[in-house]
Amino acid sequence: MADWTEAMSASQAKPFKVIVVGDSSVGKTSLTNRLVGIESENPQPTVGVGRHTHRMRVNDQDVPIDIHDTAGMETFRAVVPNFYRHADGALVVFDLTDRQTFVDVHEWVQDVPKNIPIVVVGNKSDLKDRRQVPPEDIEQYTSANGFEFIPTSARNGTHVIDAFTNLIVKMMEVRRRLLANPAEDGGGEENAVIRVQHEDTTESWLERWTFGWCVI
């Protein structure tokens, strides 16, 4: 069996597909831009999906991620889920100054593929005086559902890297587990965690990686 550390540090490691979802204006694009180093004081509402590839240093490893910054606007609700396929993890973002966006987190969680790690992000933590969502409510929801919660500010950068890093650690753990137990990858659509679309064929990345590129 391939050693995980060796395997993950291999340059051919498949990027983790991260989807960033949540209501419009919560700051998904601002968080993504902050992470990848794009200046954006007031981004335009996202149309469809913005895609960014990025590399992050996590646990001494260079981890590639493929971020899909989705549109929160109602108009795109029908099309955006098309971009969720084969996601490895999700950041579900709400705005700490807008209670409805927190209420809607539950719906976003329902929409993302089952069995992928989720980190709940409360953005705009810099706007302390305008906060509408008490920490107790967040704690109650996230602990009941087993989600990590990270308060962020895309405006001043607080915990932005932490939010993505936290998700990456969870995605790496899933991939490590699947590497150790390929049988867990039952091949169904719901096991999209380790599947990747290659042109018009879908193949198991894990299989190819373990037995093809990286036979150890």
Burial 138-175 (b: 16+ CB within 10 A, else e): beebbeeeebbbbbbbbbeebbbeebbbbbbbbbbebb
Taking the complex as a whole, the smallest distance from the CB of residue 173 to ligand GTP amounts, in Å, to: 27
Between CA 174 and CA 177 the distance in angstroms is 5
Nearest-10 Cα torsion for 32, 37, 39, 45? -20
Please say whether the beta carbons of 89 and 117 come within 8 A: yes
Among 111, 126, 148, 184, interactor with ligand GTP by CB under 6 A = 126
| C-alpha span between 44 and 30 (Å, rounded) | 10
Does position 30 interact with ligand GTP (CB under 6 A)? The reply is yes
Taking CB under 6 A as the criterion, the residue among 8, 67, 87, 154 binding ligand GTP is 154
- Our CB check for Mg ion shows the closer of 46 and 166 to be 46
Distance from C-alpha of 130 to C-alpha of 104, rounded to nearest angstrom: 19
Single out the segment in contact with ligand GTP by CB under 6 A; choices: 57-65, 124-132, 165-173, 196-204: 124-132
Site membership for Mg ion, residue 46 (CB under 5 A): yes
Tell me how crowded residue 101 is: count the other CB atoms within 10 A of its CB.
Answer: 25
- Taking residues 22 to 41 in sequence order and writing x for each that binds Mg ion by CB under 5 A, - otherwise, the string is ------xx------------
* Shortest Å distance, C-beta 26 to ligand GTP: 4
Output the six-digit token pair for 14. 């498949």
Q: Which of 24, 61, 191, 204 binds ligand GTP (CB under 6 A)?
A: 24
Site residues, ligand GTP (CB under 6 A) = 24-30, 41-43, 45-46, 71-73, 123-124, 126-127, 153-155
Applying CB under 5 A, the residues found at the interface with Mg ion are 28-29, 46
